[in-house]
Chain A
């Protein structure tokens, strides 16, 4: 007991002395801390892009909403269905109903090119035709300004993100598409979800304006419970009148976000691994220098009867402290620089823009600091081993 207490005291006192010498070595210490801060800042920063994108894609989706597409179609863009098929779906079991209506929306989708505000770049925005019951299906959607469109008229409501991203999407403004003029009568939100990047209008008006006949892209239904999905799906898969693919809304959008998420995460991890290698060299350099400049002190301590363990521990602790300081600084930089940054990018799957916000989550910060600790561990381990194997006599002589 006394032994191990003694051991800990030894380690603590050497560590204290070591940390006390930091001001004397501030150049090389700053270099290591700075390097590690850089790795963590880039790691957290780049991954906050991926996390933010995925959040938008999944914020407003729910597992009790089912999407029905043409069989073989991966996305709504690829799906074409006929209205009489859609009628069959309306009668399927498991759909949420109240006295007069079913929570089913037959939806059409047209991708439209508009000019982005500020940059003047033309980019794609989805124009979605929905049913009168759409709000029952997309329950997160709320009109925040103006009013809902009236069916059968050339009126639109615009998602908040789309409105701030694209020129001309202002409440009360008119949009000229081909020969038709469309009036923007409302702005809506969807709890930060994907719908906010869209423009909505009446499905029938859209079919008419874009010469779509009675074809549509998807049927979206809210079910009574997430568990009702099974029954709903089975009944339609066994129905010879329709040939469809049925997915949960939450799975569909998780799938849609996979490509951008994987791209950004893949590149982010690649870049930070490279930087981490650089930072490990930096940390090694600093700690080897620390050991080299203290050769005499370390040898003296050992001659005085300090054992190897505390010497090793003290060097590891110093390295870890520096790394954690770097990690915290880096995470803070990433948080202040990136968190809440608005951007928009192309979602390859739907071929249209998705507006999103970079999001630094506690999990990301934790991973970043873990990454820093790893660098600190490697950076301290080898120099500590060298210190432990230092021959005492020549160490004392060293000048």
Chain B
């Protein structure tokens, strides 16, 4: 009988226990998958790390307070700044409130300079520059809603009432853009600030924030210079790197995320400990059999391989299936019905999970395996 055969028949000795142990390992790794996905979603991993050489300037009071549009010129003159683009958050509804995506009013020329990640054809760019109510959308977004260039897209404002009192803003889709890198944000709907500013009833001439491109070497220093420029004016600014800005939101979620992760971590470990204990127990019960094998001339090395093989197989089966099911379920989508739009199982965590499976198999097998090699044949046979 081959080693594989022996491992197989050992696992079949008590089929029920083997199945239950494999199932609990499966559940542990399913939980692990969800743990990673929740962590990423709450960490704001979905917002991306942000570019090193890009800053975000906003009102020091808070992001919800606007800043004057006249700051654009003053920021552009600060040494180290290479491009400035203002942006306004629109926050409108497309057909249904659950259709959430970012909608920004921007100056196209400025915005494309500060965010070179946005890849768009020259023809579409020209069309955008020359169409006042023109808008561009990221490819995944356009595909999701079946938009084509030339389509009219109405958005219902939740904040920005038009000067005539109506809430519906009409846009013409003039281009569809791609992201330069896999992590680029391609889920935004961008339209022209002049169309927006002329149409809105209040806060004319103001923006919510500026994106600023700088010489990468001294981003922090440039940030300080921007804030100094507006210190003691009636609207002070707060400037930070794009990464810090993106994470600010996640940090505000704060304690809840930490508490949930704090609960899940120990739970995962406990399930693993219990499974490990069961596996050790099943080897201990077989002392006599292992003794017989040794009496038949099995080497210590082969015994070690047999026991380790068994624990690794069990861990691999349960853990592998658990990770696979987690991956499948998580890619179906967010379990909370919209509260976590970016719910995903990161590849790195998937690999770490696979590593944990191997560690689990080895760690639970090694102690009984070494014990098994130390069994005295006579002693073991007497136990029958």
Q: A residues touching B (Cβ–Cβ < 8 Å)?
A: 31, 34-35, 38, 42, 45-46, 49, 70, 72-74, 77-78, 80, 110-113, 116, 119, 121-124, 177-179, 210-211, 215, 243, 259-260, 262-264, 266-267, 270-271, 274-275, 277-278, 281-282, 284-285, 288, 341, 343-346, 351, 353
Contacts and interface: CB of A to CB of B under 8 A. Distances in A.
B60 interface: yes
Contact of A343 (B17, B38, B165, B259): B259
A34 B269 CA distance: 13
A179 B234 contact: yes
A274 B34 contact: yes
Q: Name the residue among A282, A343, A344 with the largest chain B CB count within 10 angstroms.
A: A282
Interface residues on B, range: 35 or more
B65 A210 contact: yes
In the A-B complex, the 3 residue pairs with the closest CB atoms: A266-B336, A263-B339, A343-B255
6 contacts: A73-B159, A113-B63, A116-B254, A215-B202, A288-B17, A345-B252
B30 interface: yes
B254 A345 contact: yes
B238 A113 contact: yes
B260 A123 contact: no
B270 interface: yes
Nearest to A114: B62
B64 interface: yes
Contacts of B23: 277-278, 281
B24 A113 contact: no
A110 B64 CA distance: 8
Nearest to A288: B16
Interface in B154-181: 156-159, 161, 165, 167
Contact of B340 (A124, A263, A344, A345): A263
Nearest to B30: A274
A124 B157 CA distance: 24
Contacts of B278: 285
B74 interface: no
B161 to A, nearest CB: 7
Contact of B263 (A42, A111, A178, A260): A42
A341 B255 CA distance: 11
Contacts of B161: 70, 72, 80
Contacts of B298: none
A377 B161 CA distance: 58
B336 A346 contact: no
Contacts of B297: none
A209 to B, nearest CB: 9
A274 B27 contact: yes
B267 interface: yes
Contact of A346 (B31, B159, B249): B249
Contact of B157 (A72, A113, A122, A346): A72
A284 B20 contact: yes
Given A177-B61, A178-B236, A263-B336, 7 more contacts: A34-B274, A46-B263, A80-B202, A113-B62, A271-B267, A274-B34, A278-B28
Given A72-B158, A263-B339, A111 B260 contact: no
B359 interface: no
B63 to A, nearest CB: 8
A267 B38 contact: yes
Interface string B40-81: 000000000000000000001111110000000000000000
B256 interface: yes
A271 B61 contact: no
A255 to B, nearest CB: 12
Contacts of B267: 38, 42, 271, 275
A343 B258 CA distance: 11
A385 B161 CA distance: 68
B103 to A, nearest CB: 14
Contacts of B96: none
B232 interface: yes
B255 A179 contact: no
B270 A271 contact: no
Contacts of B167: 72
A266 B238 CA distance: 36
B157 A178 contact: no
Contacts of A70: 161
B277 interface: yes
Given A77-B64, A343-B259, A262 B339 contact: yes
Contact of A123 (B24, B254, B264, B270): B254
Interface string B6-34: 00000000001100110110011011001
A288 to B, nearest CB: 6
B126 interface: no
Interface in B245-265: 248-249, 251-256, 259-260, 263-264
